[in-house]
Structure 1
Amino acid sequence: MPKVTAQGKTFECSTGANLRKVLLENGIDLYNGKAKIINCQGIGTCGTCAVAVEGNVSEANWKDKTRRSLPPHSPTANRRLACQTQVLGDVKVTKFDGFWGQGTQTVWTPQG
Protein backbone atom coordinates (compact mmCIF):
# COMPACT_ATOMS: atom_id res chain seq x y z
CA MET A 1 0.00 0.00 0.00
CA PRO A 2 1.30 3.47 -0.83
CA LYS A 3 2.33 5.79 1.98
CA VAL A 4 1.37 9.47 2.01
CA THR A 5 3.42 11.89 4.13
CA ALA A 6 1.99 15.34 4.88
CA GLN A 7 2.01 17.79 7.79
CA GLY A 8 4.22 15.52 9.90
CA LYS A 9 2.01 12.45 9.49
CA THR A 10 2.48 9.30 7.42
CA PHE A 11 -0.43 7.04 6.56
CA GLU A 12 -1.28 4.32 4.07
CA CYS A 13 -3.93 4.33 1.38
CA SER A 14 -4.99 2.07 -1.43
CA THR A 15 -3.33 2.37 -4.84
CA GLY A 16 -5.39 4.76 -6.96
CA ALA A 17 -6.89 6.57 -3.97
CA ASN A 18 -7.90 10.21 -4.42
CA LEU A 19 -5.26 12.40 -2.75
CA ARG A 20 -7.77 15.00 -1.50
CA LYS A 21 -9.90 12.37 0.21
CA VAL A 22 -6.87 10.65 1.74
CA LEU A 23 -5.53 13.93 3.17
CA LEU A 24 -8.88 15.03 4.59
CA GLU A 25 -9.67 11.59 6.05
CA ASN A 26 -6.36 11.71 7.91
CA GLY A 27 -6.87 15.16 9.42
CA ILE A 28 -4.59 17.13 7.12
CA ASP A 29 -5.31 20.86 6.83
CA LEU A 30 -5.64 20.93 3.04
CA TYR A 31 -7.29 24.33 2.66
CA ASN A 32 -5.99 27.79 3.56
CA GLY A 33 -8.23 30.28 5.36
CA LYS A 34 -11.79 30.56 4.10
CA ALA A 35 -11.09 27.96 1.40
CA LYS A 36 -11.97 25.46 4.15
CA ILE A 37 -15.55 26.65 3.73
CA ILE A 38 -15.57 27.86 0.13
CA ASN A 39 -14.29 25.09 -2.16
CA CYS A 40 -15.72 22.95 -4.94
CA GLN A 41 -15.77 19.77 -2.82
CA GLY A 42 -13.44 17.93 -5.15
CA ILE A 43 -14.82 18.48 -8.64
CA GLY A 44 -11.70 20.29 -9.84
CA THR A 45 -13.07 23.75 -10.55
CA CYS A 46 -11.86 25.97 -7.71
CA GLY A 47 -8.16 25.10 -7.42
CA THR A 48 -7.95 25.65 -3.65
CA CYS A 49 -6.56 22.15 -2.98
CA ALA A 50 -3.35 22.84 -4.94
CA VAL A 51 -0.31 21.17 -3.40
CA ALA A 52 3.22 20.22 -4.40
CA VAL A 53 3.54 16.44 -4.67
CA GLU A 54 6.72 14.38 -4.77
CA GLY A 55 6.33 10.73 -5.70
CA ASN A 56 4.25 8.44 -7.85
CA VAL A 57 0.87 9.94 -8.77
CA SER A 58 -1.40 9.92 -11.81
CA GLU A 59 -0.74 12.21 -14.75
CA ALA A 60 -2.56 15.54 -14.56
CA ASN A 61 -5.98 15.25 -16.20
CA TRP A 62 -7.65 17.98 -18.25
CA LYS A 63 -9.44 19.49 -15.23
CA ASP A 64 -6.18 19.77 -13.30
CA LYS A 65 -4.29 21.24 -16.27
CA THR A 66 -7.09 23.66 -17.16
CA ARG A 67 -7.60 25.05 -13.65
CA ARG A 68 -3.88 25.42 -13.01
CA SER A 69 -3.49 27.30 -16.31
CA LEU A 70 -5.76 30.10 -14.99
CA PRO A 71 -4.78 32.86 -12.54
CA PRO A 72 -3.80 32.94 -9.80
CA HIS A 73 -2.23 29.57 -10.60
CA SER A 74 0.54 29.13 -13.13
CA PRO A 75 0.97 26.09 -15.36
CA THR A 76 4.72 26.27 -14.72
CA ALA A 77 4.39 26.07 -10.92
CA ASN A 78 5.06 22.70 -9.33
CA ARG A 79 1.49 22.15 -8.11
CA ARG A 80 -1.28 19.60 -8.52
CA LEU A 81 -4.94 19.68 -7.56
CA ALA A 82 -5.25 17.09 -4.80
CA CYS A 83 -8.86 16.39 -5.84
CA GLN A 84 -7.75 15.33 -9.32
CA THR A 85 -4.70 13.32 -8.27
CA GLN A 86 -4.56 9.57 -7.70
CA VAL A 87 -1.91 8.11 -5.39
CA LEU A 88 0.00 5.37 -7.24
CA GLY A 89 2.96 4.99 -4.87
CA ASP A 90 4.61 6.68 -1.90
CA VAL A 91 4.17 10.47 -1.96
CA LYS A 92 5.20 13.53 0.02
CA VAL A 93 2.92 16.56 0.02
CA THR A 94 3.69 20.25 0.66
CA LYS A 95 1.13 23.07 1.01
CA PHE A 96 1.86 26.71 0.15
CA ASP A 97 0.18 29.95 1.17
CA GLY A 98 -2.49 31.92 -0.68
CA PHE A 99 -6.20 31.19 -0.87
CA TRP A 100 -5.60 28.75 -3.72
CA GLY A 101 -2.28 27.43 -2.41
CA GLN A 102 -0.58 29.32 -5.21
CA GLY A 103 1.88 31.24 -3.03
CA THR A 104 5.59 30.84 -2.49
CA GLN A 105 5.65 30.57 1.32
CA THR A 106 5.38 27.08 2.79
CA VAL A 107 2.36 26.47 5.06
CA TRP A 108 3.36 22.89 5.87
CA THR A 109 5.75 20.28 4.56
CA PRO A 110 5.78 16.50 4.65
CA GLN A 111 7.71 16.76 7.94
CA GLY A 112 5.32 19.17 9.63
Structure 2
Amino acid sequence: MPTVEFRGERIDCEAGAALRDVLLDAGLSPHNRTSEWVNCRGHATCGTCAVEVRGEVSEMNADERRRLSLPPHSLDSGLRLSCQTEVRGDVRVVKHRGFWGQTVERDERREPTAAER
Protein backbone atom coordinates (compact mmCIF):
# COMPACT_ATOMS: atom_id res chain seq x y z
CA MET A 1 0.00 0.00 0.00
CA PRO A 2 1.59 3.31 -1.09
CA THR A 3 2.21 6.12 1.38
CA VAL A 4 1.83 9.82 0.52
CA GLU A 5 3.87 12.28 2.58
CA PHE A 6 2.50 15.84 2.57
CA ARG A 7 2.95 18.73 5.02
CA GLY A 8 4.27 16.46 7.75
CA GLU A 9 1.47 13.92 7.37
CA ARG A 10 1.76 10.34 6.11
CA ILE A 11 -1.29 8.93 4.35
CA ASP A 12 -1.75 5.34 3.22
CA CYS A 13 -3.75 4.91 0.02
CA GLU A 14 -4.66 2.42 -2.66
CA ALA A 15 -2.33 2.12 -5.65
CA GLY A 16 -3.86 3.97 -8.59
CA ALA A 17 -5.70 6.54 -6.46
CA ALA A 18 -5.75 10.13 -7.71
CA LEU A 19 -3.36 12.18 -5.57
CA ARG A 20 -5.89 15.03 -5.19
CA ASP A 21 -8.50 12.61 -3.80
CA VAL A 22 -5.99 11.06 -1.40
CA LEU A 23 -5.11 14.48 0.02
CA LEU A 24 -8.70 15.72 0.25
CA ASP A 25 -9.90 12.47 1.87
CA ALA A 26 -7.22 12.99 4.54
CA GLY A 27 -8.44 16.55 5.21
CA LEU A 28 -5.48 18.12 3.40
CA SER A 29 -5.68 20.39 0.38
CA PRO A 30 -3.57 20.50 -2.77
CA HIS A 31 -4.77 24.11 -3.21
CA ASN A 32 -3.58 27.43 -1.79
CA ARG A 33 -5.98 29.85 -0.10
CA THR A 34 -8.79 31.01 -2.42
CA SER A 35 -8.12 28.22 -4.90
CA GLU A 36 -9.53 25.81 -2.28
CA TRP A 37 -12.96 27.15 -3.28
CA VAL A 38 -12.25 28.33 -6.83
CA ASN A 39 -11.03 25.27 -8.71
CA CYS A 40 -12.22 22.86 -11.39
CA ARG A 41 -12.88 19.99 -8.94
CA GLY A 42 -10.45 17.63 -10.61
CA HIS A 43 -11.09 18.16 -14.32
CA ALA A 44 -7.56 19.36 -15.24
CA THR A 45 -8.78 22.75 -16.45
CA CYS A 46 -7.71 25.23 -13.76
CA GLY A 47 -4.21 24.09 -12.72
CA THR A 48 -4.61 25.16 -9.07
CA CYS A 49 -3.79 21.69 -7.72
CA ALA A 50 -0.27 21.72 -9.19
CA VAL A 51 2.27 20.17 -6.84
CA GLU A 52 5.81 18.87 -6.88
CA VAL A 53 5.80 15.08 -6.62
CA ARG A 54 8.75 12.80 -5.92
CA GLY A 55 8.16 9.09 -6.14
CA GLU A 56 6.28 6.54 -8.16
CA VAL A 57 3.33 8.07 -10.02
CA SER A 58 1.56 7.73 -13.36
CA GLU A 59 2.84 9.30 -16.55
CA MET A 60 1.43 12.68 -17.51
CA ASN A 61 -1.74 12.36 -19.59
CA ALA A 62 -2.87 14.64 -22.44
CA ASP A 63 -5.23 16.76 -20.28
CA GLU A 64 -2.52 17.40 -17.71
CA ARG A 65 0.08 18.18 -20.37
CA ARG A 66 -2.31 20.63 -22.05
CA ARG A 67 -3.03 22.55 -18.82
CA LEU A 68 0.59 22.62 -17.63
CA SER A 69 1.68 24.00 -21.01
CA LEU A 70 -0.37 27.18 -20.35
CA PRO A 71 0.68 30.13 -18.16
CA PRO A 72 1.39 30.51 -15.36
CA HIS A 73 2.63 26.93 -15.58
CA SER A 74 5.21 25.42 -17.90
CA LEU A 75 5.93 21.81 -18.74
CA ASP A 76 9.54 22.12 -17.61
CA SER A 77 8.60 23.27 -14.08
CA GLY A 78 8.47 19.69 -12.83
CA LEU A 79 5.00 20.21 -11.37
CA ARG A 80 2.11 17.80 -11.75
CA LEU A 81 -1.65 18.27 -11.43
CA SER A 82 -2.65 16.29 -8.36
CA CYS A 83 -6.09 15.65 -9.89
CA GLN A 84 -4.51 13.76 -12.82
CA THR A 85 -1.61 12.09 -11.01
CA GLU A 86 -2.17 8.51 -9.89
CA VAL A 87 -0.17 7.27 -6.91
CA ARG A 88 1.67 4.07 -7.86
CA GLY A 89 4.12 3.83 -4.93
CA ASP A 90 5.42 5.92 -2.03
CA VAL A 91 5.50 9.64 -2.85
CA ARG A 92 6.51 12.92 -1.27
CA VAL A 93 4.43 15.96 -2.24
CA VAL A 94 5.30 19.66 -1.93
CA LYS A 95 2.87 22.50 -2.55
CA HIS A 96 4.59 25.71 -3.63
CA ARG A 97 3.49 29.32 -3.23
CA GLY A 98 1.18 31.22 -5.59
CA PHE A 99 -2.49 30.86 -6.47
CA TRP A 100 -1.70 27.91 -8.74
CA GLY A 101 1.23 26.67 -6.65
CA GLN A 102 3.44 27.76 -9.51
CA THR A 103 6.13 29.65 -7.57
CA VAL A 104 8.86 27.04 -7.37
CA GLU A 105 11.86 28.34 -5.48
CA ARG A 106 14.99 28.30 -7.62
CA ASP A 107 17.67 25.87 -6.50
CA GLU A 108 20.82 27.95 -5.96
CA ARG A 109 23.06 25.06 -7.04
CA ARG A 110 21.87 25.04 -10.65
CA GLU A 111 22.13 27.57 -13.43
CA PRO A 112 19.10 29.89 -13.68
CA THR A 113 16.91 29.44 -16.74
CA ALA A 114 16.51 32.29 -19.25
CA ALA A 115 13.14 33.15 -17.73
CA GLU A 116 14.71 33.41 -14.26
CA ARG A 117 17.52 35.79 -15.32
3-state secondary structure, aligned to 1:27: coil
Task: Tell me the equivalent position of 2:88.
Answer: 88
Aligned partner letter, 1:99: F
CA distance in 2: counterparts of 1:12 and 1:104, whole angstroms: 26
Q: Deviations over 1:6-48 (max 9, x none)?
A: 0100011001001000011112132112101100000110000
3-state secondary structure, aligned to 1:4: strand
CA distance in 2: counterparts of 1:12 and 1:101, whole angstroms: 24
CA distance in 2: counterparts of 1:11 and 1:49, whole angstroms: 18
CA distance in 1: counterparts of 2:3 and 2:33, whole angstroms: 27
Q: Shift of the alpha carbon at 1:4?
A: 0.5
Task: Tell me the equivalent position of 1:14.
Answer: 14
Superposed CA RMSD in Å reads: 0.8
Sequence identity, in percent? 50
Unaligned runs of 5+ in 2: 106-117
CA distance in 2: counterparts of 1:29 and 1:61, whole angstroms: 22
Task: Tell me the equivalent position of 2:79.
Answer: 79
Greater fraction of residues in strand:
1
Aligned partner letter, 1:17: A
Q: Does 1:59 align with 2:59?
A: yes
Aligned partner letter, 1:84: Q
CA distance in 1: counterparts of 2:6 and 2:44, whole angstroms: 21
3-state secondary structure, aligned to 1:73: coil
3-state secondary structure, aligned to 1:14: coil
3-state secondary structure, aligned to 1:76: helix
Aligned partner letter, 1:9: E
Question: Structure 1 length normalisation: TM-score?
Answer: 0.91
Higher relative contact order (CA 8 A, sep 6+): 1
User: Following superposition, which runs of at least 4 residues in structure 1 exceed 4 angstroms of deviation?
Assistant: none
CA distance in 2: counterparts of 1:11 and 1:102, whole angstroms: 24
Q: Which has the larger radius of gyration?
A: 2
Unaligned runs of 5+ in 1: 106-112
